Structure 1
Amino acid sequence: MLVVNPYLNFNGNTEEAFNFYKSVFGGEFAVVMRFKDGPEASKLAEKDQNKLMHIALPLGPGNMLMGTDALGVEEGGMGLVTMGTNFSLTISCESKEEADRFHAGLSAGQEGGGPMREEFWGDYFGWVKDKFGISWMISFNPNRP
């Protein structure tokens, strides 16, 4: 089944925000990954090493609230975000073919984004901003139910 979940971007306070959401919704974090744990960690400034690359809080069956600390463009990131437009919709697909189809459809007539490719965390992943300005992250992981 296709699953769509929100992905929130913060300017360095993701951990604080997600601890707040955890206090409200309950549960335990499914994933906590810091930039220092990624393959590009040696290229980042010391101040960015402990920031969150990815965090996920389950919100019931099939629902996940996810987020990241947006690094500045000079650090190789997306740049600082504007609160209120600091989100993407994530699509968890059932196959690579489905992921490719959604990526191609959403990116039609658009430039930029990230192509679908195998990532170090195990997902086939890409992202795009559609013609209406909505950011989408598309992934497939053959090891997820």
Structure 2
Amino acid sequence: MRIVPYLVFGGNAREAIQFYADVLDGRIEGILTFGDNPFPGMPEEAENRVMHAQLTVGDSALFFSDTYPGQDHRPGNQVAVTLLVDTVEEAERIYTALAEGAQEIALPLQQTDWSPAYAQVTDKFGVPFQINTVPADQA
């Protein structure tokens, strides 16, 4: 079994996918738009919205989509994406990128009892992240 976080956006999923691909050194596996599989009566503004996309990071994945036009979208904190990294340097790099324009920094990057570099940040898209450094010899 795999558990894959599915992130839903209100029309800016394509921008978010590229941002996370850059920040997390990920590989965009594909982007399917609503226009690629048109539904009867689909509004024109839906055509370029993301119906489904996948970003692969290491051996993990994130799924993405946009809402259908008119569908309610409220970014929230029901799901946090936890990033387990090997080094403080990698934690610093990711934290710096996610913190730029962040909606909230609940806990700045810092040493904790369980991690040499841990942070909680809600990025510019409203997605909550936890960055947790777990050195390879402790994984």
Q: TM-score, normalised by structure 2?
A: 0.52
1:24 aligns with 2:16: no
User: Which digits, 9 at most, give the CA deviation of each residue in 1:37-67, with x for residues without a partner?
Assistant: 1151x42111110110011000111x11111
Residue 85 of structure 1 deviates from its aligned partner by: 4.9
Number of residue equivalences: 79
Unaligned runs of at least 5 residues, structure 1: 74-78, 88-145
The residue number in structure 1 matching 2:68 is: 71
Preserved CA contact (<8 Å) 1:10 1:86 = no
1:46 aligned onto 2:38: no
Q: What does the per-residue CA deviation read over 1:83-111, in whole Å, with 9 as the maximum and x for residues that have no partner?
A: 11576xxxxxxxxxxxxxxxxxxxxxxxx
Which structure 2 residue ranges, 5 or more long, are not aligned? 80-139
What CA distance in whole angstroms lies between the structure 2 residues aligned with 1:5 and 1:32? 16
Whether the aligned pair in 1 keeps the contact of 2:45 and 2:69 (CA below 8 Å) is: no
In the TM superposition, structure 1's runs of 4+ consecutive aligned residues that sit over 3 Å from their partners are none
Q: Which amino acid aligns with 2:44?
A: E
Cross-structure match for 2:14: 15
> CA offset at residue 81 of structure 1?
1.6
**Larger RCO (alpha carbons 8 Å, 6+ apart):** 1
Q: List per-residue Cα deviations over 1:15-36 (Å, max 9, x = no partner).
A: 1111110110123211210111
Report if the CA contact (8 A) 1:56-1:64 is conserved.
yes
How much is the aligned-residue C-alpha RMSD, in angstroms?
A: 1.8
- The 1-side partners of 2:78 and 2:30 are apart by 20
Letter in 2 for 1:67: F
